[in-house]
């Protein structure tokens, strides 16, 4: 039975919001892992484990072959969305603060919309521009943007995170036409399979010196959480949604990460909900409403 358009639309929204819950957990769990495991080893273990799980899911769910003309493209998407994305983010997270990390992650929707407009994939209108402005203001208000210090020792980490945002934005924009031709698990498994190659090669020197027995159980548990909750599930949800809506709308949900992180801090760590947090929440959800109200979800089919 075909679902009504409204039901399909809000299913996409739910998938995007669910993906951001997983992504919002990553800075917390990732900092724990990085206290025990070197950055390149962490990236290699994360991507290799995720690639293995996704490949197992693909094989038990009616395997679908990748067409020969699409393989070079998907390999390139694996570099943008997995290799460069994971390496740049984890290396940046290891060098800079969680505050800078979250602020710079919020630039992904801006870069994605700019890439989509620049490549002629989408048109810029007043409502998306207003939505990005409102949500961006909310994210910055929530995180105390005045604490963002470009002159600090974390400058290299900040640059790596900016490069990560750019890479992931181009992945969202460029991959959608090919993604629309395959099942979500087929495409996502292929992207991780190809993306794991470069990370594995770069991590070989650190892997040879790595001592697993010296890693605390909490770090291993956090790594499992990163693989399952912050990688496999969010990437599947994001890919499923990306096949059904515009790349800029997928990226726009990144603005929910600061809000989700704050809610988790209140619920788990017992931190106080302040008026600033409430104001930021109103701005973020106002931005979502401005961008998504009467929006084009799902997007027209890609030929």
Tell me, yes or no, whether 228 lies in a domain: yes
pLDDT > 70 in the chain, percent: 69
Residue 225's alpha-carbon distances to 30, 33, 230, 233, 234, in angstroms, are 9, 10, 7, 11, 12
Which carries the bigger pLDDT value, residue 126 or residue 30?
30
Tell me, yes or no, whether 226 lies in a domain: yes
Range of the domain at 38: 8-127+146-251
- Total domain count for the chain? 1
Residue 95: both structure tokens together: 């060098």
What mean pLDDT comes out for the span 183-194?
86
Q: Give the containing element (helix H, strand E) for 30.
A: helix 5-34
pLDDT over 50 (residue 299): no
Under a CB-based contact definition with an 8 Å cutoff, are residues 140 and 262 in contact? no
Tell me, yes or no, whether 92 lies in a domain: yes
Q: Residue 60 has what pLDDT?
A: 82
Alpha carbons 52 and 231: distance in angstroms, whole number: 12
Tell me, yes or no, whether 216 lies in a domain: yes
pLDDT over 50 (residue 122): yes
Taking residue 219's Cβ as centre, other Cβ atoms within 10 Å add up to: 18
Nearest to 258 by CA among 138, 114, 164: 138
Q: Residue 238 has what pLDDT?
A: 76
Alpha carbons 46 and 223: distance in angstroms, whole number: 7
Residue 175: both structure tokens together: 């991959």
pLDDT digits (tens, 9 = 90+) for 192-227: 889 888 888 988 988 888 888 888 999 999 999 988
Tell me, yes or no, whether 13 lies in a domain: yes
Q: Kindly give, in sequence order, each residue whose CB lies less than 8 Å from that of residue 6, ignoring residues fewer than 6 positions away.
A: none
Tell me, yes or no, whether 291 lies in a domain: no
Taking residue 285's Cβ as centre, other Cβ atoms within 10 Å add up to: 16
Under a CB-based contact definition with an 8 Å cutoff, are residues 49 and 162 in contact? no
What mean pLDDT comes out for the span 17-38?
82
Q: Residue 241 has what pLDDT?
A: 78
Mean pLDDT over the full length of the chain: 75
Tell me, yes or no, whether 284 lies in a domain: no
Classify residue 263 by burial, with Cβ atoms within 10 Å: 0-12, 13-18, 19+: middle
Taking residue 120's Cβ as centre, other Cβ atoms within 10 Å add up to: 7
Tell me, yes or no, whether 288 lies in a domain: no
């Amino acid at each position: 039975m075909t679902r009504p358009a409204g039901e399909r639309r809000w299913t996409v929204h739910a998938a995007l919001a669910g993906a951001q819950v997983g992504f919002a957990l990553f800075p917390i769990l990732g900092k724990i892992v990085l206290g025990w495991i070197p950055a390149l080893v962490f990236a290699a273990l994360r991507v290799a484990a995720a690639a293995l799980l996704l490949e197992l899911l693909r094989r038990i769910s009616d395997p679908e072959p990748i067409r020969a003309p699409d393989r070079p493209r998907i390999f390139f998407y694996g570099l943008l969305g997995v290799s460069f994305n994971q390496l740049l983010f984890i290396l940046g997270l290891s060098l800079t603060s969680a505050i800078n990390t979250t602020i710079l992650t919020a630039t992904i929707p801006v870069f994605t919309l700019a890439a989509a407009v620049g490549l002629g994939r989408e048109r810029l209108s007043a409502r998306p521009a207003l939505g990005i402005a409102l949500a961006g203001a909310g994210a910055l208000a929530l995180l105390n943007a005045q604490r963002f210090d470009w002159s600090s020792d974390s400058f290299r980490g900040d640059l790596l995170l900016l490069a990560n945002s750019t890479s992931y934005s181009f992945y969202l924009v460029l991959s959608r036409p090919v993604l629309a031709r395959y099942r979500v698990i087929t495409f996502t498994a292929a992207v991780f399979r190809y993306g794991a190659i470069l990370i594995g090669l770069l991590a070989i020197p650190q892997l040879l010196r790595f001592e697993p027995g010296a890693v605390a159980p909490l770090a291993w548990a956090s790594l499992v959480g990163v693989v399952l909750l912050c990688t496999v599930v969010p990437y599947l949800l994001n890919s499923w949604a990306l096949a059904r809506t515009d790349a800029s709308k997928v990226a726009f949900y990144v603005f929910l990460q600061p809000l989700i992180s704050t809610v988790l801090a209140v619920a788990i760590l017992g931190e106080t909900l302040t008026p600033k947090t409430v104001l930021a929440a109103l701005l973020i959800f106002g931005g979502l409403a401005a961008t998504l109200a009467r929006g084009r979800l799902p997007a027209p089919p890609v030929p």
